[in-house]
Amino acid sequence: MKIGITGLEASGKTTIFNALTGEKSNYSRSYKELNIASVKVPDWRLDRLYEMFKPKRKINATIEFVDIRGIEGIEESRKGFGTDIISNMKNCDALLPVIRLFEDDTIPHPEGSIDPVRDIDIVNTELMISDMDILESRIKKLEKLVGRKKDEGEKEELDLLLKCKAYFDEEKPLREAEFSPEEEKLLRGFQFLTLKPLIYVLNIDERSISGADTLLIPIKEKFKKKNCEVIVFCGKIEEELSQMEDNDADEFRKEYNIEESAIKKLIRVSYDLLGLISFFTMVEKEVKSWTIPSGTRAKSAAGIIHTDMEKGFIKAEVIPVEELLKSGSISKCREKGILRLEGKDYIVQDGDFITFKFAR
Ligand SMILES: Nc1nc2c(ncn2[C@@H]2O[C@H](COP(=O)(O)OP(=O)(O)O)[C@@H](O)[C@H]2O)c(=O)[nH]1
Ligand SMILES: [Mg+2]
């Protein structure tokens, strides 16, 4: 999974990137390079499996974060998202616009003042403008084609794009729309930005941490919609904490009354938002966790590990990980009848420990 950090200039994008990835970055605008980092998804179940099997390696599923440049310029000369920024965002599974709430006179806000609702609108508008460009030029092309000859596929596509346009006319992003599975499939190729799940990070001031959650309830309620979440943290403090040893950071969090680290919070929220679950495997001295969309069938899940496993899929031996941890070994689970044999269409559940059997 890949998450793209975006937003206005000086909103704290790079600070949040550092907070999430725990790395000091050397991002510099003049070099046009992007900060990219992979982060291990923490999972206590994987840790316990590692203690139980004592294999050579423990390999966590990972999430990739990209620090994408933001919207530049002030109101009159606002440049919006450049083409390179747009193409970077297209490659992401979800977008994370950082919205500035911290006050600092020495760091000018491009719009001149702190106003989260306005900034959220700016981000949304820019995402919509990018989608509208693609949409309108495709509609024009299709209207010409459909006028000339009868092609059911093109007619269908045109109708769908006009439906999308109606949403934009109401200033609604596509992520709020209802689409059938066939429509979703058709739309996938366009990589529309407003169709991507969105997580707004409200980057609050270190002075307003206590009570921030209640303070922000109105913003949260206004913007927390379908396929969209709002989370709150203080980038600056989280960046500092991410550089510390875990125990020290936990102590500080207690002092600030922060319940969980930025990365844990974000992973929890994004798994929920994107409908992701985890399963576990133990193969050749490696215990691993894997991330898949909920509803994934056993055969496709095998394919995430290796295409050969999917092609030659025979069956899946499944144990709920908590049962395995309780019993202490696969063979005990087999004796007790907890280990189940499942076929290719079995829907993998969160926390399944799976051994795939396949023909090589
Ligand atoms: N006081 C304060 N400053 C912050 C916070 N987040 C970011 N900054 C500062 O704002 C400036 C711009 O942040 P940066 O992450 O580079 O913004 P970007 O342009 O969106 O990548 C830096 O000097 C940061 O230290 C915050 O939560 N509180
Ligand atoms: Mg930056």
Answer whether residue 210 is part of any domain.
yes
Distance CA 100, CA 97 (A): 10
Residue 25: predicted pLDDT: 46
Answer whether residue 251 is part of any domain.
yes
- Strands 313-320 and 352-358, by their bridges, are antiparallel
Residue 260: predicted pLDDT: 86
Co-location of 32 and 51 in the same domain: yes
Co-location of 55 and 109 in the same domain: yes
Residue 28: predicted pLDDT: 42
Number of independent structural domains in the chain: 3
Co-location of 180 and 264 in the same domain: no
Residue 101 CA: which ligand 1 atom is closest? 27
Residue 15 CA: which ligand 1 atom is closest? 15
Select the more confidently predicted residue: 127 or 29. Answer: 127
Where is average pLDDT lowest: 83-87, 279-283, 293-297? 83-87
Q: Could you tell me the CA-to-CA distances from 354 to 128, 328, 333, 339 in Å, in that order?
A: 42, 15, 12, 9
Pocket test for ligand 1, best of 107, 233, 238 (most atoms within 8 A of CB): 107
Q: Encode pLDDT of 5-29 as tens digits.
A: 999 989 999 999 999 988 544 444 4
Residue 153: predicted pLDDT: 83
Residue 266's pLDDT band, with cuts at 50, 70 and 90, is very high
Q: Could you tell me the CA-to-CA distances from 34 to 4, 25, 82 in Å, in that order?
A: 11, 10, 14
Residue 77: predicted pLDDT: 64
CA 10 / ligand 1 centre spacing (Å): 6
Could you list which residues have their CB under 5 Å from ion ligand 2? 13-14
Distance CA 254, CA 105 (A): 29
Q: Encode pLDDT of 141-197 as tens digits.
A: 998 887 777 677 888 999 999 999 999 999 999 999 999 999 999 999 999 999 999
The three-point CA angle 64-350-261 to 5° equals 45
CA 26 / ligand 2 centre spacing (Å): 10
Answer whether residue 278 is part of any domain.
no
Number of H helices, E strands in the chain: 15, 12
Answer whether residue 93 is part of any domain.
yes
Residue 326: predicted pLDDT: 96
Instruction: Identify the CATH number of the domain in which residue 221 sits.
Output: 3.40.50.300
CA 89 / ligand 2 centre spacing (Å): 15
Instruction: Identify the CATH number of the domain in which residue 311 sits.
Output: 3.10.20.30
Give the chain's mean pLDDT.
90
Co-location of 106 and 205 in the same domain: yes
Answer whether residue 284 is part of any domain.
no
Pocket test for ligand 1, best of 236, 241, 242 (most atoms within 8 A of CB): 236
Residue closest by Cα to atom 5 of ligand 1: 236
Residue 27: predicted pLDDT: 44
Query: Rounded mean pLDDT of 231-255?
Result: 90
Co-location of 17 and 84 in the same domain: yes
CA 306 / ligand 1 centre spacing (Å): 41
Task: State the Cα torsion 201-199-1-323 to the nearest 10°.
Answer: 100
Whole-number CA gyration radius for the chain: 23
Residue closest by Cα to atom 26 of ligand 1: 236
Co-location of 157 and 211 in the same domain: no
Residue 308: predicted pLDDT: 93
pLDDT cut 70: percent of the chain above it: 94
Answer whether residue 280 is part of any domain.
no
Distance CA 38, CA 63 (A): 6
Co-location of 222 and 109 in the same domain: yes
Residue 288 predicted with pLDDT over 90: yes
CB atoms within 10 A of CB 216: 18
Instruction: Identify the CATH number of the domain in which residue 156 sits.
Output: 1.10.150.300
Q: Encode pLDDT of 83-97 as tens digits.
A: 888 888 999 999 999
Distance CA 303, CA 301 (A): 5
CB atoms within 10 A of CB 138: 15
Out of 179, 194, 209, pick the residue that ends a domain.
194
Where is average pLDDT lowest: 45-54, 158-167, 216-225, 307-316? 216-225
Residue 32 predicted with pLDDT over 60: no
Residue 104 CA: which ligand 1 atom is closest? 1
Co-location of 190 and 200 in the same domain: no
Ligand closest to Cα of 34 equals 2
Residue 237 belongs to what domain range? 2-114+196-273
Residue 103 CA: which ligand 1 atom is closest? 1
Answer whether residue 140 is part of any domain.
yes
CA 260 / ligand 2 centre spacing (Å): 24
CB 315 within 8 A of CB 359: no
Answer whether residue 135 is part of any domain.
yes
Phi, psi of 100 (to 5 degrees): -80, 130
Residue 74: predicted pLDDT: 61
Co-location of 229 and 263 in the same domain: yes
Co-location of 231 and 342 in the same domain: no
Co-location of 216 and 350 in the same domain: no
Out of 177, 194, 211, pick the residue that ends a domain.
194
Q: Which residues pair with 317 in a beta bridge?
A: 341, 355
Residue 101 predicted with pLDDT over 80: yes
Residue 229 predicted with pLDDT over 80: yes
CA 143 / ligand 1 centre spacing (Å): 47
Residue 154: predicted pLDDT: 86
Out of 143, 159, 194, pick the residue that ends a domain.
194
Phi, psi of 257 (to 5 degrees): 65, 35
Ligand 1: list residues with CB < 6 Å. Answer: 9-15, 70, 102, 104, 107, 203, 205-206, 234-236
Residue 30 predicted with pLDDT over 50: no
CA 1 to chain centre: 6
Residue 107 predicted with pLDDT over 60: yes
Co-location of 319 and 202 in the same domain: no
Please name the residue ranges forming H helices in the chain: 13-21, 44-53, 83-90, 116-148, 152-169, 181-188, 212-215, 217-223, 235-242, 246-256, 262-274, 298-305, 307-311, 321-327, 330-336
- CA distance from start to end of the chain: 28
CA 166 / ligand 2 centre spacing (Å): 34
